[in-house]
């Protein structure tokens, strides 16, 4: 009996994980199996010493793996053992209470509001279906904060023009409703007009909201990434210009305009509020920057922050 295959089937068909996610779990578990078999071929999942798991973590770090990658693989192993314990295939969990390597928190990248205004108010998008579609893709990311996979998966039936809302299918097939405003609604109607004119001459008959201009079928994630990078590069000099950056940009803009954290959590489809809280750090950093630019006493004439006589104590 192959316990890894049983676990992957459980993830796919009972937990509704995507094929790609399940394959990532499988790769992590196979990597650990190869590791412990090189140490001792007589070792088994049921009699795994905690020290072997600890050695695996140390080896991965010594090889230069990022702490985030090591923590993910350790998490895969932890989930696997929880599954084995529930099925009573093992009697103990060697990963229990084992901490992963510390990860340095990195603030999410986002595009400034002025740069996004310049993008949508400027003349960056061409005429016709392709230009209208590209603008609508960027506006959808910025106005709703949805993930790349969620945007690519949108169908016509997910759009409610009367109620001004989108039905989005997120991770693990969980659905949520996202409202949108007047500007987005007007742009969406214009886009659908262009799109319907395009599909009238196209026989693909795909029900996807966003269609490839060549095949007439649902757009691929790679194509959408290319489009986003192309247009963001026109208005910002930052290195990261991906759909996920626009998700960060949406969350940051909402909080900067006084949205409460719980509402942003629901809009983003986060399971935990702690996941959303990282954006409060982003907005605080922006607040500090605005303060330093605006307050007359934020900087001294020499360009140093604070009191020049910092050596004098009270």
Residues identified as active-site: 147, 171, 244, 247, 270, 279
Q: How many residues does the chain have?
A: 314
Strands (E), the chain: 159-160, 165-169, 175-179
All residues at 6 or more sequence positions from 217 whose CB lies less than 8 Å from its CB, including other chains:
204, 206, 208, 211
The span from the CA of 67 to the CA of 229, in Å, is 27
The span from the CA of 294 to the CA of 259, in Å, is 23
User: Are the C-beta atoms of residues 57 and 100 closer than 8 Å to each other?
Assistant: yes
Q: How many angstroms separate the Cα of 111 from the Cα of each of 63, 68, 115, 263? A: 34, 24, 7, 21
């Amino acid at each position: 009996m192959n316990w890894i295959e049983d676990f992957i089937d459980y993830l796919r068909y009972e937990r509704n994980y995507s094929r790609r996610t399940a394959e990532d779990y499988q790769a992590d578990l196979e990597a650990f199996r190869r590791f412990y078999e090189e140490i001792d071929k007589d070792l088994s999942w049921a009699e795994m010493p905690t020290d072997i798991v600890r050695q695996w973590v140390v080896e991965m770090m010594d090889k230069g793996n990022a702490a985030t990658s090591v923590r993910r693989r350790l998490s895969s192993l932890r989930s696997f053992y929880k599954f084995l314990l529930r099925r009573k295939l093992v009697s103990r969990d060697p990963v229990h209470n084992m901490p992963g390597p510390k990860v340095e928190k990195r603030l999410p990248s986002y595009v400034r509001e002025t740069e996004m205004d310049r993008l949508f108010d400027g003349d960056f998008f061409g005429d016709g279906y392709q230009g209208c579609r590209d603008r609508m893709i960027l506006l959808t990311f910025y106005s709703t904060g949805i993930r790349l996979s969620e945007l690519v998966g949108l169908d016509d039936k997910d759009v409610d023009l009367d109620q001004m809302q989108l039905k989005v299918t997120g991770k693990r097939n969980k659905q949520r409703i996202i409202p949108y405003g007047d500007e987005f609604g007007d742009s969406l109607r214009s886009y659908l007009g262009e799109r319907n004119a395009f599909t009238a001459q196209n026989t693909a008959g795909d029900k996807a909201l966003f269609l490839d201009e060549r095949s007439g079928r649902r757009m691929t994630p790679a194509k959408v990434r290319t489009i986003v990078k192309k247009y963001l590069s026109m208005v910002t000099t930052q290195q990261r210009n991906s759909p996920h950056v626009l998700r960060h940009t949406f969350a940051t803009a909402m909080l900067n305009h006084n949205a409460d954290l719980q509402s942003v959590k629901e809009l983003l489809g986060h399971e935990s509020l702690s996941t959303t809280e990282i954006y409060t750090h982003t907005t605080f950093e922006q607040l500090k920057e605005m303060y330093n630019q605006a307050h007359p006493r934020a900087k001294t004439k020499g360009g140093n922050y604070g009191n020049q006589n910092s050596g004098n104590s009270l």
